[in-house]
Each structure stands twice: as structure tokens, then as C-alpha cells.
Structure 1
């Protein structure tokens, strides 16, 4: 997606910006809301609650991006499709009346294309995530999540490997992978350490051998 289109749109309007602190929820699944939210800065997490009450993480989002699905353009209020929680120390988000946002989309060709790309990429991400969950098994799912963290937060440090510059607990990894307990992830993380793939220092994951991670993922 061309983030410049979204950036230009936001710069042309004086939308209010809200600030949320760490672990604070922006919206809850199933509750009605009348706004579209666009992340300005920080890191947020989207998740859903299963019928048995377990939380399943969908993805982390950082950078300038729409973080709530738009749904139809006529309803003033919609049920939120998932939970959105702040994972960084704070997050800043543009808050836009969703009916007003749809009017802008319908009158702006570039913004229409951006939203089409937004839906397409979201659909492809969901399909890829499901494929990896079904085909990789639990160990492969953990490797897949570590690779996603590398792709989003990885910083190469000369002579030391790749730092995942964001603290992610084994419990959160479990929720991304559909694994019932963090202790199961603990065992798999220990296995990756013994294989020479990762280290954990000061609660941060260091990737020592990315190829080992990739060998356990069906892309």
C-alpha cells in the first residue's frame, strides 16, 4: 500500500488524535463504535476471543495504518470485529467519524485504491496466517511468529545477530499460535536455543541463525 496517500489525506484534514497508554484497549470485540482509527505512532495488537473464552492474537501493527475495519459505509455504529490493545508505552491514533471517512473515500480516487489495497492485503495476510497455522504444526507456528517479529521489529547488530527490538512474552507468542499454554512455548523456545537459532537476553529475543527458523516454516 502507498502510505503517502493516507499521509496526504490526514495532512489535509484536522482529525483529532487520541493517546492511549500501554495495555489500554482502544475497542473491544462486539462493542459498538462509530469511528475509524488510524495508527499514527506506537504499536498495537489485534485479537479475538474464542467461544471458550481464550484470546487469539491476530497481529501487531506499527506505523501509519488503518487499524479498524471499515465495514459498510452507511451504518453510523458498527460492532467492533476484534479487540485493539496498545502494546508500546503509548500509541497515538487519529479518530475519524466512519460515515465521514466513507464520504471522503467515495470522492477521492487515490484513497479508494488505498482502501482496496488495504482489504486485499488484510485478506492475504489472514489466508497466509491460516495456512501456516494448519501446515506448520505447533513448532512451525512458533517459528512463523518469530519470523514475523523479525520482519516487523528485527534490527541487525553487527557481530551479535538480529535483535527483536520489542519485548514479546511466551504467553503472547502462544496466543498468536493457538497454543493453550505458555509452558509449551517455553519448551519450543528452549529447543530453538539448543539448535542455535535464538538466544533470550534481558527479555529480548536475539536471532542467531535465521535459516534455522526458516527451515521450520512452510511459506
Structure 2
């Protein structure tokens, strides 16, 4: 059974451009442990980070102090590019936290990165594609979250987990990453994890999912996607 990953929308050649740049540049690779933060929303930072290996999560904090999750990343890609190309220090747009046991990331001085981008046309094209795809993803995710109600929002997030972490097993597709109902609630803007519990139980009763060792197995993705207005 083939799964099309949501974060594989850039083709191989685009990513090869980025790989070639990193290999020839000799940039340092840092290792961060689970639950450690790479950046904090609103705190100045001077680096561009590119995920080499591991799983990270991006999130923002509301004015009320509630955390709202944005997405998981588990593939080779740029973590974030900040809007200002000329300043050496800029405010980070979101929190970045390591969710795997450890993560490895390339760490590049942002002013040097932008000099290289402006000098190298293939890299410049990749960055433009990064912005375009990131914008399209954000717009699509917001549309799905706003139009589908709470249950549809939970189904939207399960579908994204399916595309990001899914791997075939005998019973269906295993979401091979442990995600709590509290974390799903933070992706969906739901204040109570107990509300997500009820929705998860509904999907279990409809035989769309099952749980195994605190991980979710999707047994009927079509049923889940029927609840998503795209």
C-alpha cells in the first residue's frame, strides 16, 4: 500500500540542490535532545535551521497563553526562513521543539545563507518554492480547520499524521509516532483533550481506527476523509 507523504511535494531535484549546497558549504550540524527547543516565538535568532534527521514540532502561543500546534516535520527540509533578509537578527515566528529522542539540524548564519541564495540561482529557485509550498500548505490547513468543525478538524489532523508518519502494517496504516489526544487538541484549537477522546472513540466505534501500544492504526482512511471538506 503506497502512502503519498504531505512533505514530499518538492521533487527530488529541488532537494538535491539543497543537499549539494549543504555538502559543499561545510555547515555545522547540531544535535538536540527530545523536548528541547530550537527557537522560541518572538525571541531574536540569527540562524537558518535545516532538519537533517529526527522529528520536530512547530507551535505558537496565543495571547491567553494557550499553545497551538502548527505541524510536525520529519523529513529533510528547511525548518523556517524568516521574512527579513537584510537583518542579522530577527524574531522567530514560532516555537520549534524536538519530539524524537534527538534531532540533527544544519545551522547556518542567516546573513550568509541569504548571500548564497542571491548568488546561486538553483538555490534561489528552491527558496521561492519553499515559500510558495509553505503558503499553500498553511492556507489549505487553515481552510480545513475552519470549515470542518471540531470533528472534521480532528479528522484533518489524523489524515495529516497518516500522511506524515504512516507505514503499512497488516491491520492497515500505522501512524508510527506516539501522539497524545492533548497534542491533537492543540493542533485543532480544542481546549479539552476529553473532547478529542470522545471523537477518537467515535472513530474507533466506526472502525476507522484502532489503537495499539498507544499508537494509532488507520483501518479506513476513506471514512476519515469523508469528514473533511477540502
TM above 0.5, yes or no, is yes
Pick one of 202, 207, 213 that aligns with 2:218. 207
2:65 is aligned with 1:27: no
State whether residues 208 and 218 of structure 2, in contact with CA within 8 Å, keep that contact through their aligned partners in structure 1: yes
Q: 1:45 touches 1:61 (CA, 8 Å); kept in 2?
A: yes
Match of 1:79 among 84, 91, 101: 91
The Cα of 1:40 is off from its aligned counterpart by: 0.5
Residue ranges of structure 1 left out of the alignment (5+ in a row):
none
Residue 136 of structure 1 is matched in structure 2 by 148
Secondary structure of the residue that 2:69 maps to in structure 1?
strand
**Is residue 22–residue 88 contact of structure 1 (8 Å, CA) maintained in 2?**
yes
Partner of 1:36: 48
1:192 alignment partner, one of 182, 203, 209 = 203
Report how far residue 211 of structure 1 moved.
Answer: 1.1
Tell me the distance in 2 between the aligned counterparts of 1:153 and 1:60.
9
Size of the alignment, in residue pairs?
A: 218
Select which of 174, 179, 182 maps to 1:168: 179
CA apart distance, 1:207 = 0.5
Aligned-pair RMSD on alpha carbons?
A: 0.7
Taking structure 1 as the reference length, the TM-score comes to: 0.98
Supply the distance in 2 between the matched residues of 1:56 and 1:18 (Cα, whole angstroms): 26
Please, which of 59, 62, 69 is the counterpart of residue 47 of structure 1? 59
Q: Distance in 2 between matches of 1:73 and 1:210?
A: 41
Name the residue aligned to 2:126.
114
Q: For residues 106-145 of structure 1, give each alpha carbon's deviation from its aligned partner in whole angstroms, at most 9, with x where no partner exists.
A: 0000000100000001101110011001111000000000
Conservation of the 8 A alpha-carbon contact between 2:82 and 2:92: no
Which segment drifts farther, 29-38 or 63-72? 63-72
Runs in 1 of length 4+ with deviation above 2 angstroms? none
Query: Within the alignment, does 1:10 sit opposite 2:19 as a pair?
Result: no
Please list the CA deviations of residues 70-90 of structure 1 after superposition, one character each: whole Å capped at 9, or x if unmatched: 322210100010000001110
Distance 1:22 1:79 in 2: 23
Task: Tell me, yes or no, if the aligned pair for 1:171 and 1:181 is still in contact at 8 Å.
Answer: yes
Moved more, 184-193 or 59-68: 59-68
CA distance in 2: counterparts of 1:190 and 1:63, whole angstroms: 30
Matched residues in 2 for 1:73 and 1:132: separation? Answer: 31
Matched residue, 1:101: 113
TM-score, L = length of structure 2? 0.93
Cα distance, 1:64 vs. partner? 1.0
The one-character-per-residue Cα deviations of 1:2-52 (angstroms, maximum 9, x if unpaired) are 211111110111111110011110010011111000000001000000011
